């Protein structure tokens, strides 16, 4: 937990806790707010859910004694329940530290460096185009065997090829139960979602086309995905002067 000064008149006073009593706690939720200019804000719920689905390997952030803690996890979205599901390895101390916390899950979509040389002008600076989603919610742990298995099976089903011969339900029940003792399953009941799609919307149509042409000239998957998203978004670009 961090602190901020409640009264602007004492901002420059040395922050010695024993002499300051005009302080209030900053909660984790208030600290973690993504900067989103209005022209980069994503509002379409289905598009946001698609970003989460296609980029499910996220970062789960919580707090422990005032310090941020993060684990990289393949989080699963259940839209009907408004929750994210996954599990920690039991030796990972974050699960104990995050109990009853408001946590943040970060999903990084495609991204690409944008060179000012692509604008055909010297009056420009480099930037980065990207898509990202922040999901906030209360974490809740569960150990009901059926629900744990269902969560694990959903994860395997999503990432195994459709023609895979591997199916979790075909494994020995005792083996599954034994392996499940090494994990801690959880759900994050979603309270807020913030999504950003920075695709050069603040530039003219001509500049956006120049950027897309350069991105499409490479074989890098992120570049091609950003170019594709920019094409879909181009109809909302400002008119050329």
3-state secondary structure of 25: strand
Kindly state whether residues 81 and 129 are assigned to the same domain.
Answer: yes
235 versus 9: the higher-pLDDT residue is 235
CB contact at 8 A, 77 and 56: yes
Q: How far apart are CA 226 and CA 199, in angstroms?
A: 7
CATH code: domain of residue 146: 2.30.110.10
Longest pairwise C-alpha distance within the chain: 69
Q: Is residue 145 part of a domain?
A: yes
Domain that includes residue 3, residue range = 1-31
Burial of 1 (C-beta count, 10 Å sphere; 0-12/13-18/19+): exposed
The conformation of residue 144, written as its DSSP 8-state character, comes to -
| 78 and 168 assigned to the same domain | yes
Claim to verify: residue 87 and residue 15 sit in the same structural domain:
no
Residue 232 counted as domain residue: no
Q: Are residues 20 and 97 in the same domain?
A: no
Tens-digit pLDDT profile for residues 150-164: 999 999 999 999 999
Q: Is the residue at 195 inside a domain?
A: yes
What's the structural domain count of the chain?
A: 2
Look at residue 135 and tell me if it is in a domain.
yes
Q: Is the pLDDT assigned to residue 11 strictly greater than 90?
A: no
Shared-domain flag, residues 8 and 78: no
Same-domain pairing of 54 and 25: no
Higher pLDDT among residues 148 and 236, named by residue? 148
- Asked whether residue 215 is assigned to any structural domain, the reply reads no
Confidence of residue 100 (pLDDT cuts 50, 70, 90): confident
């Amino acid at each position: 937990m961090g602190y901020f000064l409640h009264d602007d008149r004492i901002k420059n006073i040395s922050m010695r806790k024993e002499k300051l009593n005009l302080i209030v706690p900053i909660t984790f939720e208030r600290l973690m707010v993504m900067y989103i200019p209005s022209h980069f804000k994503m509002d379409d719920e289905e598009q946001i859910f698609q970003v989460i689905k296609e980029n499910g390997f996220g970062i789960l952030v919580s707090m422990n004694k005032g310090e941020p803690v993060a684990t990289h996890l393949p989080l699963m979205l259940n839209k009907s329940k408004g929750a994210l599901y996954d599990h920690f390895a039991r030796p990972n101390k974050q699960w104990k530290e995050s109990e009853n916390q408001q946590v943040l899950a970060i999903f990084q979509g495609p991204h690409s460096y944008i060179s000012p040389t692509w604008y055909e002008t010297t009056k420009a600076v480099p930037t980065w185009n990207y898509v990202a989603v922040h999901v906030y919610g209360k974490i809740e742990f569960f150990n009901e065997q059926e629900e744990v298995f269902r969560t694990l099976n959903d994860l395997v089903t999503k990432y195994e090829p459709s023609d895979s011969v591997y199916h979790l339900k075909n494994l020995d029940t005792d083996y599954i139960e034994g392996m499940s003792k090494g994990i801690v399953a959880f759900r994050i009941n979603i309270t807020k979602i913030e999504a950003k799609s920075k695709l050069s919307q603040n530039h003219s149509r001509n500049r956006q086309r120049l950027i897309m042409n350069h991105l499409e000239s490479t074989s890098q998957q992120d570049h091609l995905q950003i170019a594709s998203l920019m094409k879909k978004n181009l109809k909302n670009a400002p008119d050329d002067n």
